[in-house]
């Protein structure tokens, strides 16, 4: 069971959710807004593993998918509703439905055009991934990440006209920065289904229970 502090419901059928709202919702399933078959698994963390982790976390404030299916124009991730969408910044062409870029998933997507973008997540990002579907040699997306130990990793999706998943995870480290760029000379490099998993913060209920347990133990010893 997924939980989300926003007023929009968790939806398995995107059209039912977005027909009456202008902002897309953070969702719990990859490719809710589209119908793509991921043909290429790239990076260090698979789409299947990401989906399992999001499902097992069950809290869209900390683990979910930014699906770009809202009816807003070009913008940043905060155009999606939900706490998770506010935990990463830096996109400038997110939520588009025009241009020559083939859609990555669903009817809307983001893309990089010209210089690279640097996306900055909040502290505690442990897993990251996205889908990209290059339509031409100039539309290849490169994704690089920097980890908390200063190590880096980078992957370029090179298979044309097929969906590639690019995922990253380095056990024991968090992701502090993400760089997305296109092959020099290309007009667009698309992306969609930006998937994020953060370390959950301890809830106040857990903290309260822990404190109460300690108090009762001290009282019993006294």
Question: Is residue 186 over pLDDT 90?
Answer: no
For the ranges 186-190, 192-196, 201-205, the maximum mean pLDDT occurs at 192-196
Mean pLDDT of the chain: 80
Give me the pLDDT at residue 15, please.
35
Rounded CA separation 186/3 (Å): 40
Give me the pLDDT at residue 183, please.
77
User: Any idea where the domains of the chain sit in the sequence?
Assistant: 14-221
Rounded CA separation 38/198 (Å): 24
Question: Is residue 110 over pLDDT 80?
Answer: yes
Give me the pLDDT at residue 221, please.
59
* Strands 163-168 and 38-43, bridge-based pairing: parallel
If you classify domain 14-221 with CATH, what class do you get? mainly beta
Give me the pLDDT at residue 216, please.
45
Mean per-residue pLDDT for 9-31? Answer: 56
- Report the Cα 221 to chain-centroid distance in Å: 48
195-206: buried (b, 16+ CB within 10 Å) or exposed (e) per residue? Answer: bbbbeeeeeeee
pTM over 0.85: no
Give me the pLDDT at residue 22, please.
54
Question: Is residue 21 over pLDDT 60?
Answer: no
Give me the pLDDT at residue 70, please.
64
pLDDT tens digits for 90-107? 998 888 876 656 677 777
Please calculate the CA angle 173-79-36 and round it to the nearest 5 degrees: 70
Which residue reads 């993400």 in tokens? 178
Question: Is residue 8 over pLDDT 50?
Answer: no
Give me the pLDDT at residue 116, please.
87
């Amino acid at each position: 069971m997924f939980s989300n502090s926003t007023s929009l419901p968790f939806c398995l059928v995107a059209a039912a959710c977005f027909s009456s709202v202008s902002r897309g919702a953070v969702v719990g399933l990859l490719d809710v807004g589209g119908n793509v078959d991921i043909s290429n698994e790239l990076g260090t963390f698979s789409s299947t593993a990401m989906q399992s982790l999001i499902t097992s976390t069950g809290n869209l404030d900390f683990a979910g998918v930014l699906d770009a299916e809202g009816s807003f124009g070009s913008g940043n991730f905060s155009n999606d509703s939900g706490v998770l969408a506010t935990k990463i910044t830096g996109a400038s062409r997110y939520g588009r439905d025009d241009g020559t870029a083939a859609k990555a998933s669903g009817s809307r997507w983001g893309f990089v055009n010209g210089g690279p973008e640097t996306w900055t997540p909040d502290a505690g990002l442990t897993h990251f991934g996205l889908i990209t579907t290059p339509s031409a040699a100039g539309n290849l997306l490169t994704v690089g990440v920097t980890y908390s130990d200063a190590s880096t990793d980078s992957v370029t999706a090179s298979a044309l006209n097929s969906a590639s998943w690019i995922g990253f995870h380095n056990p024991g480290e968090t992701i502090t920065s993400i760089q997305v760029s296109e092959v020099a000379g290309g007009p667009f490099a698309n992306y969609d289904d930006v998937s994020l998993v953060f370390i959950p913060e301890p809830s106040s209920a857990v903290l309260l229970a822990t404190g109460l347990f300690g108090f009762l133990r001290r009282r019993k010893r006294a």
